[in-house]
Structure 1
Amino acid sequence: MGFNGAGCLGVGDQNSTMEPRKIEPLCQKKVKGIAYGSGPHVLAYTESGELYSWGHNGYCQLGNGSTNQGLTPYLVTTHLHNKRVTRIAAGSHHSLALTEEGEVLAWGQNNYGQVGSGTTTNQPTPRRVIANLGGRQVVDIACGQTSSMAVMDNGEVYGWGLNSSGQLGLGNNVNQQNPSRVTALQGVITKIVCGYSHTLALSDEGSLWAWGANSYGQLGTGNKANQCVPVRVAQELGRIVDIASSHCCHLSAAMTQNSKIYFWGHCKGQSVVAPMETGFSSLHEVFALWASPSVTYEPINVTGFTRSSLAQAMSVALDDEETADVVFVVDDRRIRAHRAVLKIRCQYFRSMFQEHWKENNLEEVEVKDYSFVVFRAFLQYIYTDTVVVSPEDAIGLLDLANAYCEEALKRHCERIIRHGITTENAAMLYAVAIKYEATRQNGTCVDESPCSSTVWQELEEFCFRFALNHMTEVAQTEAFMALDELTVKNFIQRAAQHGAFKY
């Protein structure tokens, strides 16, 4: 709904509307992500990896081989046959797509080299960006107004396109028609975002780097001087776990490990030159209130859990002696709960509390497989939808969630582990992931369907990659010294296969 210039709503006409209208060609396609250009043009990709485009097309940004605007979604297939798109990005009039194999394809306006083809000729259909990226795996992409950025699987960052404000981070103001490496970055970068003409990068250790235009303080350096090379910012905030910006504004935002939201830059006509704390609970709120225009940096995925009087009552019900009718004994400590709540919220307990349970007596259940901290955190999640545990305990909670088939809880745990990994605990997390994978490979969920070991394989791979990228520091930690001989040998062998010891 809303403004429909150039058919950007994808509903088949150019009539603006305040009433929501279906985009019929995309219904039942399981759309997974959306990106927009300020033309405006729109991109969408599906769960199966198909790519669609519609809207303004004066610079070939739809990738359909023409400059005719699209009133309905067009399936983009050129150079995407048998490939799955996993991420998309859009600048003002150019587009990027990332495939499952880690390839980057670009098309659209190319007046500053933002398509990365080695020329400044507009690109009418998707074309793989080869120079300096070919044969290597890309894990993240982003678009500024007329620039493009990519993050490699080893944490290196490349940029191309307009560089008049230093937004490519190369130490100069020279436009680049091919990807060029940002050599001044330190650490392993895992995420990158672009504003109109500035760039933010986040490392796997939670460090934030910024460069480019700074006329509104959007770099967060405390002044308004442009930066042609990356500078580390917001160190006083501690570990940062997420960042946001948009190619249509000069605003930056970040979330810290304790879920605090900060913003800086161009805020409704005012310049904020250093991170300012908000009372918000999401990065989206920053852009809704402060961005000009008020456009979100990515589509809002509404999974909301609104705290109400009921939620507040539930948060204090756990361990209530007066109303509890079941007691869990864990590590010789007791946790009081309510069978009705557990049965409503969890299939495992629904199966557990069958008719043979005496409804009028306080029953005791002994829990042997999990620690007190882990099991209480699980019950707290059942009652409140919130998870508060350390990364170390999150692994045990992830094992419990996997065994009980609690998918949402698994995602919470994975986020805590990924956001909480450090050089000090990486070896321990890696070893524990290996142990759980080995012990759970032949396990089954409570509904007797096989439990996939994928979650443990992914966690092990994530911890290994982190340790590999910081091997010198990790190898000197007490956690690494405590690893058993077989785990160390396997780690060294895997590291060697990834080229860690090549000269």
Structure 2
Amino acid sequence: MLDVGKWPIFALHSQEELKLIRQACVFGSAGNEALYATENDEVFGLGTNCSGCLGIGDTQSSTEPQRLGILCGKKIACLSYGSGPHVVAVTTEGEVYTWGHNAYSQLGNGTTNQSLVPCQISTNLLNKKVIEVACGSHHSMVLTSDGEVYTWGYNNSGQVGSGSTANQPIPRRVTSCLQNKIAINIACGQMCSVAVIENGEVYVWGYNGNGQLGLGNSANQPTPCRIAALQGIHVRRIGHRVIYWKLDIFLTNSVRDQHLECWVACGYAHTLVLTEKGMLYAWGANSYGQLGTGNRSNQSYPAPVTVDKDRCEHFRSVLNNNNDDIIEISEFSYPVFRAFLEYLYTDSISLPPEDAVGLLDLATFYRENHLKKLCQQTIKQGISEENAIALLSAAVKYEAKELEEFCFRFCINHLTVVTQTPGFAEMDHDLLKNFISKASRVGAFKN
């Protein structure tokens, strides 16, 4: 099960409905739109839909999931959202469907007309099996099973790699120096594109105003160009692993202490790669510290990201507490995972009090006493008469003595209201018995 319950867009879904969600893509300026596929291969859209990217045939908002009949029954392998906005979906059979805005031909259907429903794109892809998709703001890119890269859409900076700056209305293979090479991984920035070749070389093209191509300059590149600074450094397709630093976090179905395979990814105007030897390199825009280089200066060459070795060892030792342990994402929410990984690298946490109980659970499991203390401090900030009993129960369950005493004192000070809450009525029998006994000892029931 994919845990999407913490996203507000799914707040009206029942637990039974949430358990059926196999894959989800949440987008929009406030995360107020979503597309998702269920275990039985039904596809739905819901949310504000002002962009028409829900693919339901209109631009009407809906708090109720709307079925995308065209895609139902097809196994969705991957979805990508471009901030243009538009959406590209790929099925396990390798079919490509697009919908949304299309002013720059980012849908690849040969027109500039908006499409409010998914339409299959077959031009130049008819006998190809697409296995991966990436979207820039107004351009799209796919990777086929035989290692070919196809692009279409907006091309003002050469982001489709055709050698010109003319928009490309249909998918065309990116050739030039990729002609006889097999690509294994692709990524898109806002107006740039990246491909990783099977021998580990990285090729880039498109907009380069922030140095996001890693070529050592800020000139746009209309055709693929190999990053010479990564010569001899092998970058490969990402595996099911986790890496975290600064503002970027990447999570997949499970976390296991194994060797990190390698990958490439693009942000809005920066690029990140992880090598087969576990080295991190970053380049491009850095005004928010997104490169993790210790400063906020843009970087036009790939720069190694130095990770604190002690912190890495701490990360490894915690996750390797038991070689058989796997942290399943279905057991914990995304904010909990993010906060856990942030703590492993920074010794601090930043998350809402309501999410800190889940983090307290993880901290207890891995015997991270310092993290438990931080969780207790955070949870205290969110206590109320309505949740005091629930927090007291959690404190007892996870042996958080400091939090337990705090919650108990809070309950005593607000005893009349707390005893009238549903939480008190549903209190565990043994906990209730101990609570009454302890409350009596401190004189809570005296007139």
Report the TM-score when normalising by structure 2: 0.57
Aligned to 2:105: 113
1:259–1:59 CA distance, 2 compared to 1 (3 A): same
Query: Is 1:153 the equivalent of 2:140?
Result: no
Q: Residue 298 of structure 2: which of 264, 271, 291 is its match?
A: 271
Question: Using the alignment, how far apart are the partners of 1:69 and 1:252 within structure 2?
Answer: 34
1:69–1:237 CA distance, 2 compared to 1 (3 A): farther
Question: Using the alignment, how far apart are the partners of 1:37 and 1:230 within structure 2?
Answer: 31
Question: Using the alignment, how far apart are the partners of 1:139 and 1:85 within structure 2?
Answer: 11
Aligned to 2:231: 236
What SS does structure 2 have at the residue aligned with 1:206? coil
Q: Residue 195 of structure 1: which of 189, 198, 204 is its match?
A: 189
- Residues 23-50 of structure 1 show CA distances to partners (whole Å, capped at 9, x for unaligned) of 7575111423535355853333345444
Query: How far has the Cα of 1:60 moved from its partner?
Result: 1.5
Percent of aligned positions that are identical = 32
Partner letter of residue 101 of structure 2? Q
Question: Using the alignment, how far apart are the partners of 2:215 and 2:147 within structure 1?
Answer: 23
Query: Is contact 2:282-2:305 (8 Å) kept?
Result: yes
1:267–1:111 CA distance, 2 compared to 1 (3 A): same
Question: Using the alignment, how far apart are the partners of 1:307 and 1:235 within structure 2?
Answer: 27
Partner letter of residue 230 of structure 2? Q
What SS does structure 2 have at the residue aligned with 1:142? strand
Aligned to 1:211: 205
- Residues 350-373 of structure 1 show CA distances to partners (whole Å, capped at 9, x for unaligned) of xxxxxxxxxxxxxxxxxxxxxxxx
Could you tell me which runs of 5 or more consecutive residues in structure 2 were left unpaired when the two chains were aligned.
237-262, 289-296, 309-313, 326-447
1:164–1:38 CA distance, 2 compared to 1 (3 A): farther
Moved more, 37-46 or 106-115: 37-46
Question: Using the alignment, how far apart are the partners of 1:39 and 1:157 within structure 2?
Answer: 32
Report the TM-score when normalising by structure 1: 0.51
Question: Using the alignment, how far apart are the partners of 2:142 and 2:47 within structure 1?
Answer: 25
Partner letter of residue 269 of structure 2? H
- Residues 96-144 of structure 1 show CA distances to partners (whole Å, capped at 9, x for unaligned) of 1101110000001111111111111100101000211123211111110
Q: Residue 84 of structure 1: which of 72, 75, 82 is its match?
A: 75
Query: Is contact 1:10-1:55 (8 Å) kept?
Result: no
- Residues 297-341 of structure 1 show CA distances to partners (whole Å, capped at 9, x for unaligned) of xxxxxxxx9444895xx8xxxxxxxxxxxxxxxxxxxxxxxxxx9
- Residues 386-415 of structure 1 show CA distances to partners (whole Å, capped at 9, x for unaligned) of xxxxxxxxxxxxxxxxxxxxxxxxxxxxxx
Aligned to 1:255: 274
CA-based RMSD of the aligned residues comes to 3.0
Aligned to 1:32: 23
Partner letter of residue 273 of structure 1? S
Partner letter of residue 225 of structure 2? V
Question: Using the alignment, how far apart are the partners of 1:177 and 1:168 within structure 2?
Answer: 11
Deviating beyond 6 angstroms after TM superposition, the runs of 4 or more aligned structure 1 residues are none
Aligned to 1:9: 9
Aligned to 2:156: 164
What SS does structure 1 have at the residue aligned with 2:9? coil
Question: Using the alignment, how far apart are the partners of 1:194 and 1:120 within structure 2?
Answer: 21
Count of equivalent residues? 278
Query: Is 1:104 the equivalent of 2:96?
Result: yes
Question: Using the alignment, how far apart are the partners of 2:81 and 2:233 within structure 1?
Answer: 31
Partner letter of residue 243 of structure 1? V
Query: Is contact 2:156-2:167 (8 Å) kept?
Result: yes
Question: Using the alignment, how far apart are the partners of 2:280 and 2:64 within structure 1?
Answer: 37
Question: Using the alignment, how far apart are the partners of 1:8 and 1:309 within structure 2?
Answer: 31
Question: Using the alignment, how far apart are the partners of 1:175 and 1:190 within structure 2?
Answer: 25
1:39–1:135 CA distance, 2 compared to 1 (3 A): farther
Question: Using the alignment, how far apart are the partners of 2:212 and 2:298 within structure 1?
Answer: 8
Q: Residue 37 of structure 2: which of 32, 42, 45 is its match?
A: 45
Aligned to 1:491: none
Query: How far has the Cα of 1:277 moved from its partner?
Result: 1.1
What SS does structure 2 have at the residue aligned with 1:32? strand
Q: Give the 5 Å matches for 1:344-363.
A: none
1:28–1:69 CA distance, 2 compared to 1 (3 A): same
Aligned to 2:220: 226
Question: Using the alignment, how far apart are the partners of 2:195 and 2:29 within structure 1?
Answer: 23
Structure number with greater CO (CA < 8 Å, separation at least 6) is 2
Query: How far has the Cα of 1:212 moved from its partner?
Result: 0.5
